[in-house]
Amino acid sequence: MVAVTAVAARVLNESDYTQFLVYWSLLFGVLQIVTGVQNESARATSEVLLVTDDRAPHLGTRIIAMPLILAGVLGVVVAISGPLWARHVSVGVVVLMVSAIVVVSYGCEFAVFGVLAGRHQWGTLAFLNALGPTVRISGVVAVAFLIPTLKSMQLAAVLPELFWLATILALWRVRSATLAISDVPLNKLLANGVRAMFAASASAVLLNAFPAIVRLALGDNTAGLASLLLGIQLTRAPLMMPLVAFQGLAVAGFVAARRNRLRALMKPFGAVVALGALVAVSAALIGPLLMRLLFGANYELPGIVLGGLAFAAVSIALLTLSGTAAIAVGDHRSFMMGWIIGAAVTVVLLFVVPIPAASRVIMAVLVGPLVGVAVHVAAIRRSDHVLVA
C-alpha cells in the first residue's frame, strides 16, 4: 500500500491525489467488509478438522457459497449505488463496474484464505498474501509510466485483485480450498457470515474507509488534509496489514486452544503493544524524513503526529486480535457488537471533540477501539468460565 500511494503521489497533482486517496479509502473500505468471510471460513474449516469420524464430509455446505452470495449482493449494491457517490471521487462507469466485480472476487479470495488457514496450509496462504500486493504495485508502476491519469491509476490499483483467480488453475491446494465443506448448513453459514461482515463493516470504518470519514469530519478546508490522510494510512500499515492478512491463522490457533483462550490472548496482546511502541518511536524519529523522500515536499507531518498516529493504531490491532478470539469461541454476536461499538465510539469522538484536527484523530483512534476490546474480552471470559464449568 505504501508503494502504491508513493507512486501515485509522484505522478498525480495534489487535487487528483486527494481524490485517489479517497477512492482508495472507499473501495478498500468495501473490500474490508467482505474480508469478514475469512474468519468464518477459518472457524468452519478448523471445526471440521476436529471431527474425526465419517460425518466430516457431510457436515455442511460448500464454504465458497458464502462469499458468492454475500459478496455478490454487496457488489450489486456498489454498482447500483454508484451514481450517488462516484462523481464525488471522480469515478467513471468503467472503474465503477470493475470495482463491483472485484468485490465479489475479493470475497471468494478471502474465503479461500480462511480455508487455507483452517487447514494449516501456511505456505500457500503466505504466497497468496504476497501475490496480491506484488501484482498491484507492478501494475501501478507500469501505468504511472505509461498513462499517469487519475482514472488509470484507480484501475491499476483495483484490477490486480482479480489476478488471484489464476492461482485456482495453477495451485491444487487453492482448487481444493474452493471445494471445502463447512461444519454448518448453508443458512447457518450465511448467518455467521453476515455477522462477520457486519463486524468487518465496523472494522472498515476504522481501517480502510477511515480517511474518507476523517475528510468528512474535518472538512476539505483543513490545512494539510492530504498529508494527514496519507499519515493515517501509512502509520497503521506496519501493524494492520500483516495482522489482517493472517487473521485466519489467529482464529485457527484460538480454536485449537479450546480452554483458557483469554490467557492465550494476552501474549499476542503484549507483542502488539511492544511492536506498536517501537513503530511509534520510529515514526516519530524518521517518519517526516521518509514521508518527504517517498511522497515529495508537498506532504509532511510533524514527527509527534506521525508517532501518535502509529501508536493509536495499536488499539485497532488489539480489537482485531480480540475479535478473532471471540469468533473462535463461537460468539459471533459479541464479535460483531465489539467492532460496531468500537467504531461508533471512534466516529463520535472524531466529530464532537473540540480539539485540533490531528490530536482529535489520534485521540479517537486510540480510545474508541478499546471499548470494543472490552466487549470481546467479556465474551471470551464468559466462554472460558462455561468450559471450565
pLDDT digits (tens, 9 = 90+) for 349-384: 988 888 888 888 899 989 999 999 999 988 888 876
Asked if 247 and 325 touch (Cβ cutoff 8 Å), the reply is no
CA dist 87 and 327 (Å) reads: 38
Beta bridge partners of 181: 62
Higher pLDDT: 22 or 377? It is 377
**Which whole number is the average pLDDT over 334-357?**
88
Mean pLDDT of the chain: 80
Q: Which residues pair with 54 in a beta bridge?
A: none
Cell numbers representing residue 147 in the block: 498513462
Q: What is the DSSP letter of 89?
A: G
Looking at residue 271, its pLDDT comes to: 83
Half-sphere exposure of 38 (CA within 13 A, CB side): 27
Contact 235, 361 (CB under 8 A): no
Q: CB neighbours (10 Å) of residue 99?
A: 26
Q: Are 342 and 350 in contact (CB under 8 A)?
A: no
Residue 157 CB-half CA count within 13 A: 29
64 phi/psi in degrees, rounded to 5 = -65, -20
Asked whether the predicted pLDDT for residue 307 surpasses 80, the reply is yes
Query: Do the Cβ atoms of 192 and 329 come closer than 8 Å?
Result: no
Cell digits of residue 291:
514521508
Rg (C-alpha) for the chain, rounded Å, is 20
Question: Cell for 172?
Answer: 491444487
Q: Is the pLDDT of residue 387 over 50?
A: no
